[in-house]
């Protein structure tokens, strides 16, 4: 896949625009911009909701039209649904790019966008009206998740028909992204049902909370990383595809069985204590390989001035991908493995320690990748100016500083909470009051994160605006 780097001054004379596209722009890729624009907009709103919720923990009497429990539910709903919408757009974009042809039905992709957006917004509206079902991460009404499942069903059908139309020219990246969408659908459907048995209810919930991130999203974002690395000259296709096969195999195997580290204390057989702890190790292998492949690619690119990343657009995309790799290694892998040891998890589960891991692993590893893909999709056809590129890098740095600050504050609070409450047996409310300084530090770090969020979203909006009529 050749990357043309011929630029000319844009209409304003300040933003160079691609005059010769890398490949044909397909209708599916234009439609994918709607998904990505909606996703980054929801991400910006989420940071405001999260900051308000963090402040409410420090100032409980803070006036708010929405109670804390429903505000938290909205925040968790955003954490699940904006990456889903962005992923849908990314999969359509990069599937068309990989196959170098149109998807089966662009019209179906348009309808699907309307369906997923209506039902996602309905989840937020109903929770704002204090209508929910009390299931953490999936507090919305089950019928609304059934609507989101319908959107996934449309996507799965569209993608399978796309691959089936030319079975002899399917690339691994396109196939793996399609499998990822199929898993998103399969894992969501059991959660639109009601379970009287609390163990069964908790087990099904983690098929979304855990398996969406550590299996389904791993597959969809792996396709994006593979395509980007090939186009940017960071790795040859043969090497990337070997990593893709390993990533797919371990994501499915490791993801399925490592769900056991969520099953430790919900009433399932004790066998899951072993499976959840040991098989979680498998999930680290493809992460290490990706880091090694990225390092070799960047080192080779630096040594050979005729290849590698020269486009500021690709460099900013790489900044976001590298940020994700940082948290894949630290927040998801190292810290995740530490708290999945059963005799450690016995004390730390349900404390701020778990919240620290969730922030670093959920947004850190997955959120940055979805932002990277959405920026790449929405900026196609335009290069940022030097000032715009620097502002984008600053935004990424602020996001990282804010996320690390939040994670550290929650981690310290979690360790103190675990020791004082669960080891020494002190009163829960007394311990909670002692944690106030650390929760305040979390608010300050969250403010910095929100600042980076708005700065990055501004750069993404600007790129979208410049290319909205002709993302060539």
- Domains belonging to the chain, first-starting first, are 28-467 (1.20.210.10)
**87 with 221: CB under 8 angstroms?**
yes
Cα distance between residue 468 and residue 10, in whole Å? 13
Per-residue pLDDT tens listing for the chain (472 residues): 333 333 233 333 333 333 334 567 899 999 999 999 999 999 999 999 999 999 988 888 778 888 888 999 999 988 899 999 999 999 999 999 999 999 999 999 999 999 999 999 999 999 999 998 888 889 999 999 999 999 999 999 999 999 999 888 899 999 999 999 999 999 999 999 889 899 999 999 999 989 998 899 999 999 999 999 888 888 888 888 888 888 888 888 888 888 888 999 999 988 888 888 888 887 788 788 888 888 887 877 666 554 457 789 999 999 999 999 999 888 888 888 889 899 999 999 999 999 999 999 888 889 999 999 999 999 998 899 999 999 999 999 999 999 999 999 999 999 999 999 999 999 999 999 999 999 999 999 999 999 999 999 999 999 999 998 777 6
| Whole-number pLDDT of residue 12 | 36
Alpha carbon 330 to chain centroid, angstroms: 16
| Whole-number pLDDT of residue 8 | 33
Helices (H), 64-141: 68-99, 106-128
Beta 16-18 vs 7-9: how paired, if at all? antiparallel
| Whole-number pLDDT of residue 15 | 39
| Whole-number pLDDT of residue 156 | 97
- Residues near 193 by Cβ (< 8 Å), separated by ≥ 6? 142, 204
Please list, residue by residue across 48-67, b when 16 or more beta carbons sit within 10 angstroms of its beta carbon and e when fewer do.
ebbbbbbbbbbeeeeeeebe
**347 with 269: CB under 8 angstroms?**
no
Helices (H), 100-216: 106-128, 142-164, 172-188, 198-209, 211
Alpha carbon 128 to chain centroid, angstroms: 24
Cα distance between residue 99 and residue 423, in whole Å? 56
| Whole-number pLDDT of residue 403 | 96
Q: What is the DSSP string of 420-431?
A: IIIIS---HHHH
| Whole-number pLDDT of residue 187 | 96
């Amino acid at each position: 896949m050749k990357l043309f780097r011929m630029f000319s001054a844009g209409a304003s004379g300040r933003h160079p625009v691609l005059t010769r596209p890398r490949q044909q722009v397909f209708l599916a890729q234009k439609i994918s911009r709607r998904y990505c624009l909606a996703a980054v907009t929801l991400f910006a709103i989420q940071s405001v909701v999260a900051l308000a919720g963090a402040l409410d923990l420090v100032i409980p009497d803070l006036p708010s039209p929405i109670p804390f429990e429903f505000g938290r539910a909205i925040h968790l709903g955003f954490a699940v649904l904006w990456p889903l919408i962005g992923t849908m757009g990314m999969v359509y974009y990069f599937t068309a790019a990989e196959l170098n042809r149109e998807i089966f039905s662009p019209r179906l992709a348009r309808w699907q966008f309307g369906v997923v957006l209506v039902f996602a917004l309905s989840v937020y509206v109903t929770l704002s009206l204090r209508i929910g079902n009390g299931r953490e991460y999936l507090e919305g009404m089950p019928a609304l998740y059934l609507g989101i499942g319908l959107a996934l069903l449309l996507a799965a059908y569209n993608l399978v028909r796309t691959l089936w139309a030319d079975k002899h020219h399917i690339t691994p990246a396109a196939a793996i992204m399609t499998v990822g969408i199929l898993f998103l659908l399969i894992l969501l459907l059991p959660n639109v049902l009601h379970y009287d048995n609390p163990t069964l209810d908790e087990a099904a919930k983690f098929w979304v909370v855990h398996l969406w991130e550590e299996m389904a999203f791993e597959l969809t974002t792996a396709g994006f990383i593979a395509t980007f690395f090939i186009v940017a000259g960071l790795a040859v296709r043969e090497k990337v595809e070997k990593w893709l096969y390993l990533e797919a195999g371990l994501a499915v195997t490791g993801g399925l069985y490592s769900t056991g580290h969520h099953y430790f204390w919900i009433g399932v057989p004790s066998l899951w204590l072993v499976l959840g702890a040991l098989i979680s190790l498998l999930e680290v292998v493809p992460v290490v390989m990706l880091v090694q492949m990225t390092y070799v690619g960047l080192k080779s690119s630096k040594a050979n001035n005729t290849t590698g990343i020269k486009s500021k657009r690709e460099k900013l995309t790489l900044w976001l991908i590298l940020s994700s790799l940082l948290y894949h290694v630290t927040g998801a892998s190292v810290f995740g493995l530490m708290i999945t040891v059963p005799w450690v998890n016995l004390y730390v589960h349900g404390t701020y320690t778990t919240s620290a891991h969730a922030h670093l692993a959920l947004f850190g590893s997955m959120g940055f990748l979805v932002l990277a893909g959405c920026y790449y999709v929405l900026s196609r056809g335009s290069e940022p100016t030097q000032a715009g590129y620097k502002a984008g890098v600053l935004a990424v740095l602020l996001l990282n500083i804010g996320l690390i600050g939040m994670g550290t504050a929650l981690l310290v609070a979690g360790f103190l909470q675990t020791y004082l409450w669960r080891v020494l047996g002190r009163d829960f409310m007394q311990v909670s009051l002692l944690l106030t300084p650390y929760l305040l530090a979390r608010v300050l770090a969250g403010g910095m994160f929100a600042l980076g969020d708005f700065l990055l979203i501004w750069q993404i909006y600007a790129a979208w605006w410049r290319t909205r009529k002709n993302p060539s």
